[in-house]
């Protein structure tokens, strides 16, 4: 009984013991994984690209065995990279040859990089290289990865796919290719970061800074196989704000025309009262249904009468449940309309008013994310020379709302 203080204390004690047991089991599992890693066994349930996970013969645990088709692709990557090819070129060559990664259709620079720096391909096991720690970021506890200085690095039980000389040469190439210039400005440059998505491929749109050919920031799809045409970032930002203002004006008219606060509140209260009455009636029906079993057992009801009476009560209960579901659905919709009118619309108005005076990109991005769920961008025709800022693109904006007005 949750109202009984002794039951509550016992329940909390049970939760404490369960949590303690969970931590004990977890520590035991981690110790076992640590021992297995030091013995050179394969720990991860998903093997790295180029290998299959196989049971150790005449022993406990798992190891890795080269997967011929993927192992050849790994060797090909190292050969190309050591010959001076960049990771993007390697990814494109693999795609052209029809060599696919495991879970997606195309290779990326990141996936090539992960393979080139993984020592598993020279027969080594590296474990706990990165560790997650809880950190306080702006008053919120988040998990962040850190490099572990005491990670495990041992000879694995599995065979190597490439030689150590090839691997070392690739690591030297990676270091030599790293630009060692001045520290870059890492502050956010794109007010639409994490908001605009490509309508063609579904990927996130990103900012491309000025270069020798284009003197302004542009927004583009990072999928190299997508032909969605880029546009000036400022043009997309301006159109997004204009679209939001137009949507807000139209939405305010719709809300003002179709809803009145007092009427909505009154209707919601009536519906809630109706739901309570239905639940009380269902409780009575449950008692009556229970009594029918007693009556048939005592011989008052015949089997036929019991079936008939039980069906009547069950039908009435089903009708009441249907009424409750319909009423609660209507309450949710009307509550959403009320919230839109009293909270969402004033918040969106405040954001749009403040947006023009905000100076930092970070704050602009935060403001937009507080009112926009996502926006979809599409451009199929390039602009003519000298007409770069022509906004001949489609931009669909989806504001954050608690529900929709019917």
Domain with residue 140: its CATH number is 3.90.1750.20
Q: Is 16 part of any domain? A: no
**pLDDT per position as a tens digit, 277-323:** 888 888 888 888 888 777 777 777 787 887 888 888 888 888 888 88
Cβ atoms within 10 Å of 281's Cβ, excluding its own: 16
**Average pLDDT in the 110-116 region?**
93
pLDDT at 405: 40
Q: Is 355 part of any domain? A: no
Question: Does 376 lie in the same domain as 229?
Answer: yes
- Output 32 or 357, whichever has higher pLDDT: 357
Q: Is 404 part of any domain? A: no
Show the domain range for 225: 196-254+361-399
Question: Does 164 lie in the same domain as 221?
Answer: no
pLDDT at 242: 93
Q: What are the structure tokens assigned to 59, written together?
A: 């022993």
Q: Is 60 part of any domain? A: yes
Q: Is 379 part of any domain? A: yes
- Output 293 or 244, whichever has higher pLDDT: 244
Question: Does 122 lie in the same domain as 212?
Answer: no
**pLDDT per position as a tens digit, 36-67:** 888 889 888 889 999 999 999 888 889 999 99
Q: Is 353 part of any domain? A: no
What is the model's pTM?
0.53
Question: Does 126 lie in the same domain as 209?
Answer: no
Q: Is the dihedral of CA 357, 361, 367, 368 positive or negative?
A: positive
> pLDDT over 90 for what percent of the chain?
34
pLDDT at 219: 93
Question: Does 383 lie in the same domain as 245?
Answer: yes
**Average pLDDT in the 353-369 region?**
90
Question: Does 248 lie in the same domain as 159?
Answer: no
Q: Is 74 part of any domain? A: yes
**pLDDT per position as a tens digit, 319-347:** 888 888 888 888 777 776 666 666 778 88
Question: Does 58 lie in the same domain as 172?
Answer: yes
Calpha distance 199→222 (Å, rounded): 13
Question: Does 201 lie in the same domain as 130?
Answer: no
Give how far the C-alpha of residue 106 lies from the chain's centroid of Cα atoms, to the nearest Å. 20
pLDDT at 284: 87
Instruction: Quickly state the pLDDT bin for 272 (edges 50, 70, 90).
Output: confident
Question: Does 118 lie in the same domain as 80?
Answer: yes
Looking at 150, 180, 210, the residue that finishes a domain is 180
Q: What are the structure tokens assigned to 242, written together?
A: 């204009």
Question: Does 332 lie in the same domain as 205?
Answer: no
> pLDDT over 70 for what percent of the chain?
88
**Tally of domains in the chain:** 3
Q: Among 22-36, 45-59, 201-215, which stretch is predicted with the lowest mean pLDDT?
A: 22-36
Question: Does 124 lie in the same domain as 81?
Answer: yes
């Amino acid at each position: 009984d949750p109202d009984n203080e002794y039951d509550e204390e016992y329940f909390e004690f049970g939760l404490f013991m369960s949590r303690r047991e969970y931590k004990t089991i977890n520590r035991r599992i981690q110790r076992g994984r640590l021992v297995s890693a030091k013995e050179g066994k394969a720990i991860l349930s998903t093997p790295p690209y180029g290998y299959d996970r196989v049971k150790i013969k005449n022993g406990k645990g798992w190891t890795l065995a080269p997967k011929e088709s993927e192992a050849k692709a790994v060797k090909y990557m190292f050969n190309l990279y050591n010959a001076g090819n960049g990771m993007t070129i390697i990814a494109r060559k693999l795609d052209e040859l029809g060599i696919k990664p495991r879970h997606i259709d195309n290779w990326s620079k990141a996936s090539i990089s992960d393979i080139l720096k993984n020592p598993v391909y020279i027969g080594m096991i590296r474990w706990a290289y990165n560790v997650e720690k809880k950190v306080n970021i702006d008053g919120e506890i988040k998990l962040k990865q850190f490099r572990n200085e005491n990670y495990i690095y041992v000879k694995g039980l599995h065979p190597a796919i490439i030689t150590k000389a090839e691997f070392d040469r690739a690591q030297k190439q990676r270091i030599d290719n790293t630009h060692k210039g001045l520290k870059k400005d890492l502050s956010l440059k794109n007010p639409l970061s994490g908001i605009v998505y490509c309508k063609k491929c579904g990927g996130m749109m990103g900012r491309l800074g000025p270069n020798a050919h284009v003197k302004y920031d542009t927004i583009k799809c990072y999928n190299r196989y997508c032909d969605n045409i880029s546009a000036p970032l400022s043009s997309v930002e301006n159109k997004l704000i204009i679209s939001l203002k137009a949507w807000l004006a139209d939405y305010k008219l719709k809300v003002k025309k179709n809803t009145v606060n007092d009427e909505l509140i009154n209707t919601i209260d009536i519906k809630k009262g109706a739901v309570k009455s239905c639940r009380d009636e269902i409780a009575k029906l449950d008692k009556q249904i229970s009594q029918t079993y007693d009556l048939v057992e005592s011989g008052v009801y015949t089997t036929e009468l019991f079936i008939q009476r039980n069906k009547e009560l069950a039908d009435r209960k089903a009708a009441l449940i249907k009424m409750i579901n319909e009423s609660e659905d209507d309450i949710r919709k009307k509550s959403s309309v009320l919230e839109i009118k009293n909270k969402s619309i004033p918040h969106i108005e405040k954001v749009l008013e403040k947006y023009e005076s905000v100076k930092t990109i970070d704050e602009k991005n935060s403001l937009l994310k507080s009112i926009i769920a996502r926006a979809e961008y599409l451009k199929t025709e390039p602009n003519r020379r000298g007409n770069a800022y022509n906004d001949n693109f489609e931009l669909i904006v989806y504001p954050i709302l608690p529900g929709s007005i019917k």
